[in-house]
Chain A
Amino acid sequence: MSENKIILPAVDYLIIPEKGHPYLEGHQCNECGAIYLGERSVCSKCFARNKISKIKLNDTGSLYSFSIVYRSFPGIDVPYISALVDLDGGGTIKGNLINVDPSPENVEFGMKVKIVYRDALGRKDSDGNSYLSYFFEPA
Chain B
Amino acid sequence: MSDVYVLGVDMIKFGRFPDRTVPNIGAEAALMALDDAGLGIKDMQAMYCGNLGQANAMVGQRILQEIGQTGISVVNCANACATGATAFREAWMSIKAGMYDVVLAVGVEQMGKGLLGTGGGADGIPKEGLIGSGTMPCIFAEAGMEHTREYGTTFEQFAKISVKNHHHSTLNPKAMYQIETPIDDVMNAEMISYPNTKLMCSVNVDGSAAAVLVSEKKAKELGMARAIKVRASALASDPYTDRDLVMPDVNACTRIAAKQAYEQAGLGAEDINLVELHDCFATAEMLHYENLGLCKDGDAGKMIDEGHVGLGGKIPVNVSGGLLSKGHPLGATGIANIYEVCTHLRGEAGARQVEGAKIGMTHVIGLGTACAIHILEKP
Contacts and interface: CB of A to CB of B under 8 A. Distances in A.
A1 interface: no
- Among A11, A94, A104, A125, chain B packs the most CB atoms within 10 A around the CB of A94
B130 A133 contact: yes
B242 interface: yes
A65 B142 contact: yes
Contact of A70 (B128, B191, B240): B191
A67 B145 contact: yes
B149 interface: yes
A23 interface: no
A64 B131 contact: no
A80 B134 CA distance: 13
B194 A70 contact: yes
B191 A64 contact: no
A34 B243 CA distance: 10
B46 to A, nearest CB: 34
Given A73-B119, A133-B130, A92 B243 contact: yes
B266 interface: no
A68 B125 contact: no
B26 interface: no
B259 interface: no
Interface in B135-149: 135, 137-138, 141-143, 145-146, 148-149
B125 A82 contact: no
Given A64-B146, A71-B190, A84 B243 contact: yes
Given A65-B149, A131-B125, A37 B133 contact: no
15 contacts: A8-B124, A10-B124, A10-B130, A11-B127, A44-B244, A67-B141, A68-B193, A70-B190, A70-B193, A72-B128, A72-B133, A92-B247, A104-B195, A109-B149, A131-B125
Interface of A: 8, 10-11, 34, 36-37, 44-45, 64-73, 76-78, 80, 82-84, 86, 92-96, 104, 109, 120-121, 123-125, 131, 133
Given A37-B245, A96-B130, 4 more contacts: A44-B244, A67-B138, A69-B133, A73-B119
